[in-house]
Every structure is written in C-alpha cells, then in structure tokens.
Amino acid sequence: MTGTEDKNALKESVIAQLRDVYDPEIPVSIFEMGLIYEVKISDENHVHILMTLTAPNCPVAETLPQEVKEKVLTVPGVKSANVEITFEPEWDQDMMSDEAKLELGML
C-alpha cells in the first residue's frame, strides 16, 4: 500500500469509530447527525477532528469531545487525537444524513 492508501484506510477506520459515538439525547451517531465537520490525518498519523454540537449550551459539551477523542485513540495506528469544537457553521438539521433523518422519522 502507498502512504495515501494507508492514510485513507486509517481515515475510514477513524470514521467507523465515530459512527459508534451517539448523541445521548438523540439515538443517532454523531457522524450521521453531521456533527463531524472534518477528519484530518497527518503524515505521522496524528488525527484532528473538527466537530460541532447541536447547541452551544449542549449538556454534553464537556464529555462528548472527550468521548470522541478516546474512541479515535483506540484505532490502531493513530498516534494522537485532537478534537476541536466550532460553531461555524452553526449546526442544523439539514446537515444530518438521510439515514439519521430516517431513524428520527423525518423522512
């Protein structure tokens, strides 16, 4: 495999882990909710996650980013993980995948 293939495979593994993190208030994966804006992996396998919350005063604002970081760190090959929270752009329901909308009865 080339370095690019390795990095893509690692990114897919990270995303698979993120699909297993659920918003505690809504029984849908945070990835399908559209809360993960970006997954970047450096050449040294350091992972940077840019994510948002459904609202700035979200009750899990302290715990959810830590849970994301801990999940990412379980992926073989990941050397470190950093989770950055942003509210730009502000999250809305249009960011949800069709799978999430179907799960919540919105389709």
Q: Which tokens belong to 29? A: 């994966």
What's the mean per-residue pLDDT of the chain? 91
Q: Is residue 107 part of a domain?
A: no
pLDDT recorded at residue 49? 98
- pLDDT at residue number 4: 75
**Res 91 pLDDT > 80:** yes
pTM: 0.89
Please report the pLDDT score of residue 2 as a whole number: 62
Tally of domains within the chain: 1
pLDDT at 21: 95
Containing structural domain, residue 63: 3-102
Q: What is the pLDDT of residue 27?
A: 82
Q: What is the pLDDT of residues 48-79, one digit of tens each?
A: 999 999 888 888 888 999 999 999 999 999 99
CATH of the domain at 69: 3.30.300.130
* pLDDT confidence of residue 42: 95
